[in-house]
Each structure stands twice: as structure tokens, then as C-alpha cells.
Amino acid sequence: MPRPPMSIAVVGADYPNKRGPGRRFEIAMCAPGESVDLRREPKNPADSRAIGVYSARDVQIGYVPAEQAQWIGGQLAVIRAIFQRADTFGAVIRVTFDGSEPALPVEKPVQRGAPPPPDPDGYGDDDWPPREPKDDFSSI
């Protein structure tokens, strides 16, 4: 049974490219769903199993994390990948392992900034009781 599609982090965005635009700039130019290329880098001095990630414009945007590189490297012949999104650490790509075209996952909305509901069994703050609002404007 083939492995289901998965999202993989792309790291190393803060390192410079040997030529061409910087990696962060190229990540900003990538559109979700755009094809990306994964390439082995056996002459990489830091890791002979490194796998570079290249945009559709043939500019490197980073690397597959070292923890996943050996496993991904064994399947490069059938892997297909697309750009999913930019992130603070670099980018995220979407890959399939059966040669089919990957599809972007449905992003789940994240609710931010909403305070948690008060705990009905919780205790109030006895040291700092709530302040009564003034409505007489006498302090102006």
C-alpha cells in the first residue's frame, strides 16, 4: 500500500545560495501548488545524504531535514513535490510517494487572540478585586 501524501519542512532558508537570489526571497516568490524539485547532493561537505529543494525557477530554497533525508532519498524516483507555504523556519512542501501529482491540503483555520472562557469552577482573584467603574466624571 502506498504511503499517503505528507507535508515536509524545508530548512536552511537563512543560508546564502552560491549564485542567484537568496533563499528567503525565492520562497517569497513561490506560489502554493507550484512544482518543486528534490535533488541529492552527495558532494555536500556537511552531509553526503543531503537533499536540496529547488523552486520551479531552479533556485534552491533549502533542504529536506537531515532526519528525513535518508528515507526520502531512497524514494526520489517516485516522489513528486509542490510548494505548500512559507513558514518562519523556511517553507513547507507537499509530497506524494506513488508518482501522482500532490494536492494542497485543506488548511484548518487557527483561532488566535480569543481568550479562553472563564472556568465556572475557578476562583476569582481575592488579592485584586474588580474595580468599580466610575460614571460621574468627577475625576476629570
Q: Please check whether the domain covering 6-96 is classified as CATH 3.30.70.2330.
A: yes
Distance, CA of 4 to CA of 1 (rounded, Å): 9
Q: Sketch the domain layout of the chain as residue ranges.
A: 6-96
For residue 126, the model assigns a pLDDT of: 59
pLDDT 10s digits, 89-108: 999 999 999 989 999 988 77
Backbone φ and ψ of 27, nearest 5°: -60, -40
Nearest to 31 by CA among 81, 86, 95, 96: 86
pLDDT 10s digits, 44-93: 999 999 999 999 999 999 999 999 998 898 889 899 999 999 999 999 99
Residue 107: C-alpha distances to residues 27, 31, 70, 104 (Å): 19, 15, 28, 9
Residue 25 clears pLDDT 70, i.e. is over it: yes
